[in-house]
Structure 1
């Protein structure tokens, strides 16, 4: 893939729990299966090897299809920072990078999430086409992550997620 652009999506969320609890939600397979690209009722696989060079995998089954999200850990600094790759091979061969940083607050913590999204260009795209695609990828990703973060917030603050799909 030669022609592509990268757009960055940054989101910040505040949680009413310690940063260690939110950090753990990204790495603990029992927690991951409840919010990360999946829901507990539709999850088929939640595997994780949380070390630099280790991999993670989520498989969600919806509408008769399996959706697989995978990645590799590039940096793990508990409970301050997590950097990993993200791919969904059934849709694209692109590899995105996600950085999640945690800051302790007087009560709870703040999570800053940055997703560097690779947007492949199609042949003969104009500058306008590229800008449009960057916006669509960013907006679609923001919508998906926002839904996941709502579930994550409920999970880390209450121990369960009431939304089931």
Structure 2
């Protein structure tokens, strides 16, 4: 098995809706299929059983290929905290841990997102190589979540997502 290490991605976002609405968007299949690793018009599967030990799954179909994301819920405390695993088995057997904390504010809520990202090492990597890989993986992962969180914000605040045309 390849050697790995972990780097941590932290992101925060504010929403002008109650914490319950954001929590539901993370756990209900009918909303997950609109924003999380997929878009409603490319989604083939969206499942969620938000309880400790329950699983979630998203299958997105683009350019003739299926992209599958799966995980298991480790902690479910509505509407404040969610901890789950994340894996895309077509790319790797490695599983990341994701924590979503949602704090109610006087107006709306704030989401604190943390992902423990498994970074695969190449043979003979130096400490500098590992550090650069951590920065690169974190940057790429953050970019993906940034776009998903834009969709999440639109979905919970406006009720739908205006998908860009590429």
SS for the counterpart of 1:21 is helix
SS in 1 for 2:9: strand
Partner residue, 1:19: 19
**TM-score between both structures, scaled by the size of structure 2:** 0.97
Q: Which runs of 4+ in 1 moved over 2 A?
A: none
Match of 2:54 in 1: 54
Instruction: Give unpaired runs (5+ residues) of structure 2.
Output: none
Q: Indicate the larger mover: 155-164 or 58-67.
A: 155-164
- Number of residue pairs matched by the alignment: 165
Hey, what's the Cα distance between the residues in 1 that align with 2:99 and 2:2?
24
- CA distance, structure 2, for counterparts of residue 90 and residue 50 of structure 1: 23
Q: CA deviation at 1:85?
A: 0.2
CA separation in 2, counterparts of 1:96 and 1:124? 24
1:132 CA drift (Å): 1.1
Structure 1 unaligned runs (5+)?
none
Matches within 5 A, 1:1-165: 1=1, 3-163=3-163
Deviation at 1:122, TM superposition (A): 1.3
3-state SS of the aligned residue for 1:157? Answer: helix
**Aligned equivalents of 1:102 and 1:6: distance in 2?**
24
